[in-house]
Amino acid sequence: MRFHLFRPLRPGVVLGLGLLAAGCGSPQTTTATASLTWQIVDAAAPDPNTAPALTCAQKKLTTVRVQVSPAPASGGVFDFPCANMAGETFSVPAGTYTIQTIALNESFQALAQLTFQQRLFGKSSLGHIIFQVR
Which tens digits make up the pLDDT trace of 89-117? 999 999 999 999 999 999 999 999 999 99
Q: Within 10 A of 97 (CB to CB), how many other CB atoms are there?
A: 23
pLDDT of the residue at 28: 63
Report yes or no: 97 and 115 within 8 Å, Cβ to Cβ.
no
What CATH homologous superfamily does 29-133 map to? Carboxypeptidase-like, regulatory domain (2.60.40.1120)
| Strand runs labelled E in the chain | 31-42, 61-69, 77-81, 86-88, 92-93, 95-105, 110-120, 122-133
Report yes or no: 87 and 35 within 8 Å, Cβ to Cβ.
yes
Q: Which residues make Cβ contacts (< 8 Å) with residue 94, sequence separation at least 6?
A: 29, 30, 31, 32, 120, 121, 122
Report yes or no: 99 and 68 within 8 Å, Cβ to Cβ.
yes
Handedness of CA 104, 49, 38, 66 (dihedral sign): positive
Report yes or no: 22 and 28 within 8 Å, Cβ to Cβ.
no
What confidence category does residue 50 fall into, taking pLDDT thresholds of 50, 70 and 90?
very high
Mean pLDDT of 51-58: 98
Domain map of the chain by residue range? 29-133
Mean pLDDT of the chain: 86
pTM (global) more than 0.85: no
